[in-house]
Amino acid sequence: MSTRVSNDFFDYLKDVRRMDKEGKTYQMSWVQTPEPTEVTNVHVMSQRFRDGQCVRHVIKRYDAILKKVKIGENALFGVYDSESDSILSGSTRFKSLSAMSQAHYVQEGSSRKSSNGWKECQYEVEGVWISCD
């Protein structure tokens, strides 16, 4: 199949070159393939989580001298509530993942001023924690 297609294509190119040399006008139209679009994750809690699904934010602790050596972690857990489209953690209700992660930093005495909850939080599916991003 590919040999026949290739031969037809080359015959077509020869005809185009010949027409060009003879001074004939011709029109070629090319079909432009659209650029692949980057698939982005949905950052809408109601479309990502199901009611009662566990969500967590983890703060990793590293050694003060050996910065890359992890010495522990602390997690804030919550449960997604579809009725209010929020995450319930204890008696606190968070309307966004970023609010949950920022509250966790404040609770742990961190000086961080902002956080991206979609990049930093995880949700549980069948016992496996998956990044929200």
Domain spans of the chain, in order of start: 45-131
Query: By percentage, how much of the chain surpasses pLDDT 70?
Result: 62
| pLDDT tens per residue, range 76-108 | 999 999 999 999 998 999 999 999 999 998 888
- What are the φ/ψ torsions at residue 84 (nearest 5 degrees)? -100, 0
Q: Mapping DSSP to helix (H, G, I), strand (E, B) and coil, where does residue 96 land?
A: coil
Q: 29 pLDDT band (50/70/90 cuts)?
A: very low
**pLDDT the model gives residue 74:** 83
3-class secondary-structure state, position 133: coil
pLDDT score for 108: 84
- Given this model, what pLDDT does residue 42 score? 74
For the entire predicted model, the pTM comes to 0.62
Query: Which of 47, 65, 62, 57 has its CA nearest to residue 105?
Result: 57
